[in-house]
Amino acid sequence: MTVNVGIIGATGAVGQRLIQLLDPHPDFAIEALTASGSSAGKTYREAAKWRIDAPVPDAVADTEVGETAPEAVPDDIDLVFSSLPSSVGEVVEPALCEAGYVVSSNSSNHRRADDVPLTIPEVNPDHLDLIEVQRDERGWDGALLKNPNCSTITMVPPLAALDDLAGVERVEVATLQAVSGAGYSGVSSTEIIDNAIPYIGREEGKMETETRKLLGTFDGAAVHWHEADISASCNRIPTIDGHLENVWADTAADVSPDEAGAAMTDYPSLDLPSSPDQLIEVFDEPDRPQPRLDRNLGEGMTVSVGGIQETTGGVQFNTLAHNTLRGAAGASVLNGELLLENGYL
Ligand code: NAP
C-alpha cells in the first residue's frame, strides 16, 4: 500500500530534508507541498532556496507550492509531515487533525500536552497509543504525533540505554549546536562566524521537559514522566549540521564506562525503513564523535557516543546526531513509519 503524504513547511531546512528522505520512500509518496504565502503559487524549485548537496528531486521540482491551510491539503492525503514554525503549526496542525488528517510534526507546539504522543520510535514506541486517548478527548478522526527537539533526540537514546542499565537520576548537558538547527533564516553569518552564542531561545526548557516525557512510562491512559532532574545549557557554534553534546548522568546503581558503552552499543534499533542498523555507535577514540566526521553515520540516523568516563555519580559522555536528519526530518519520517506499522494510517 502506498501512503499519500503532504509536507507543510516544505521549503525550509527541515522541509528540504523531508523531501530528500521521501524521494523515494518504500511506503510514502509526496502528493502535496505547502509553505508561506510568499512561496504559494510558485514551483517548488522557484520557492525553495535549496541547500542540500544533491539536486532538487525531479518529482517535486515543478510541483506548485500551496499556501498552508487545511483546505489547501487534498482529501486523498493520508499523512501530513509538518515542519512549520511552532506558532504557525500550533494553529494549523490541530485544524488538520480535526479535519481527519494524521499529522507527524517537528514543531514544538503540543509536545508537552498530556494527550499528544512524543516519540522516538526506538525508545518509546508504546507511547504511540496515546492517540486513542487523544481521539477520545478531542473527538478527532485524525491524530497528532510529535517528535522531540533535535538537541533532545541527540541525548535521549544513550540516556535510555543507561536508564535501563542503572537508573538515571540526574542529567547535566552542555550543547554545541549547528546553525541549521535555527532554520534557514535563523542565524546570520556575521553573528556566528568566528563566534559561539551561549543562548538558544527556549531550547534548555525543551531538553529538560521532553527528555522526561520520552523516558516516562505509558500506562494506557497517561504518560508518567521520568523523575530524573535534567539541567541543560545550550550553545550555538559555527558548524553547519550535527549537534554535539557533553552529558553528565548520575545513576542509581554503580556503572562502569565499559558497562555503559556496552549497553549503548546493544540498545536495539527497529526494523522500520528509516531505522539505522546500529542505533548508537560507541567510539573508543577519545576525540570522537565529531560533527564533520560522524554526523552522516547510518545515513544520518545513527547517534554516536564517545569519551565515556567515570564520574563520582555515574558517567560522563559525548553524543552527536545529525540535527536535520535524526533530529528532525528523519525523526518525523520514522514516526510516520511507526504510525503505518501500528495501523494508524
Ligand atoms: P525554516 O527553515 O525557517 O522553515 C520554515 C518553513 O515554514 C518554510 O517552509 C516556510 O515557508 C514555512 N513558513 C514560515 N512561516 C509560515 C507561515 N506564516 N505560514 C505557512 N508557512 C510558513 O525552519 P526549519 O528549521 O525547517 O524548522 C521547521 C520546524 O521544525 C520548526 O518548528 C523548528 O523548530 C522545528 N525543528 C527544526 C530543527 C532543525 O534542526 N532545523 C530540528 C528540530 C525541529 P517559506 O519558505 O515560504 O517562508
Q: Does 165 lie in the same domain as 97?
A: no
Flag whether pLDDT at 152 surpasses 90.
yes
Q: Does 104 lie in the same domain as 194?
A: no
The answer, as to whether pTM is greater than 0.85, is yes
How far is residue 199's CA from residue 207's CA, in Å, rounded to a whole number?
Answer: 14
Q: Does 333 lie in the same domain as 242?
A: no
- For the CA of 85, the closest atom of ligand 1 is 32
Q: Does 311 lie in the same domain as 238?
A: yes
Cα 47 to ligand 1 centroid, rounded to whole Å: 13
**Active-site residue flag, 243:** yes
Q: Does 190 lie in the same domain as 123?
A: no
pLDDT band, very low/low/confident/very high, at 70 (cuts 50, 70, 90): confident
How far is residue 115's CA from residue 113's CA, in Å, rounded to a whole number?
Answer: 6
Q: Does 176 lie in the same domain as 115?
A: no
Cα–Cα distances in angstroms (integers) from residue 120 to residues 182, 236, 246, 331, in the given order: 21, 24, 20, 7
- For the CA of 11, the closest atom of ligand 1 is 9
- For the CA of 178, the closest atom of ligand 1 is 40
Flag whether pLDDT at 291 surpasses 90.
yes
Q: Does 183 lie in the same domain as 277?
A: yes
pLDDT band, very low/low/confident/very high, at 1 (cuts 50, 70, 90): confident
Cα–Cα distances in angstroms (integers) from residue 45 to residues 78, 238, 329, in the given order: 24, 27, 19
DSSP 8-state symbol, 328: I
* Domain limits for position 104: 3-149+328-341
- 3-state DSSP call for residue 145? strand
Which residue's CA is minimally distant from atom 18 of ligand 1?
Answer: 36
How far is residue 61's CA from residue 43's CA, in Å, rounded to a whole number?
Answer: 7
pLDDT reported for residue 72: 82
Cα 183 to ligand 1 centroid, rounded to whole Å: 6
C-alpha grid cell, residue 80: 501530513
Cα 332 to ligand 1 centroid, rounded to whole Å: 14
How far is residue 262's CA from residue 97's CA, in Å, rounded to a whole number?
Answer: 41
pLDDT reported for residue 185: 86
Q: Does 169 lie in the same domain as 241?
A: yes
Which residue's CA is minimally distant from atom 20 of ligand 1?
Answer: 36
Amino acid at 18: L
Cα 49 to ligand 1 centroid, rounded to whole Å: 13
pLDDT reported for residue 56: 97
Flag whether pLDDT at 216 surpasses 90.
yes
239 lines ligand 1 (CB under 6 A): no
pLDDT band, very low/low/confident/very high, at 268 (cuts 50, 70, 90): very high
pLDDT reported for residue 318: 98
Amino acid at 73: V
Mean pLDDT of all residues belonging to the chain: 97
Q: Are 48 and 11 in contact (CB under 8 A)?
A: yes
DSSP for 66-117, please give it.
EESSGGGS-TT--EEEE---HHHHHHHHHHHHHTT-EEEE-SSTTTT-TTS-
Angle at 219 between CA 216 and CA 220, to 5 degrees: 125
Cα 258 to ligand 1 centroid, rounded to whole Å: 40
Name the helix (H) or strand (E) containing 169.
strand 168-176
The residue from 150, 226, 234, 322 that is catalytic is 150
Cα–Cα distances in angstroms (integers) from residue 265 to residues 248, 262, 276, in the given order: 18, 5, 13
**Active-site residue flag, 97:** no
Residues 6 or more apart from 4 whose CB is under 8 A from it?
28, 29, 31, 74, 76, 77, 78, 79
Q: Does 144 lie in the same domain as 155?
A: no
pLDDT reported for residue 310: 98
Q: Does 71 lie in the same domain as 25?
A: yes
CATH number of the domain at 59, please: 3.40.50.720
pLDDT reported for residue 320: 99
Residues 6 or more apart from 83 whose CB is under 8 A from it?
7, 8, 9, 10, 12, 13, 14, 15, 18, 105, 106, 107, 328, 329, 332
pLDDT band, very low/low/confident/very high, at 71 (cuts 50, 70, 90): confident
Which residue's CA is minimally distant from atom 34 of ligand 1?
Answer: 107
How far is residue 96's CA from residue 115's CA, in Å, rounded to a whole number?
Answer: 16
pLDDT reported for residue 12: 96
The residue from 127, 226, 243, 322 that is catalytic is 243
- Mean of pLDDT values over 316-341: 98
13 lines ligand 1 (CB under 6 A): yes
Q: Does 164 lie in the same domain as 239?
A: yes
Q: Does 232 lie in the same domain as 111?
A: no
CATH number of the domain at 306, please: 3.30.360.10
How many structural domains does the chain have?
2
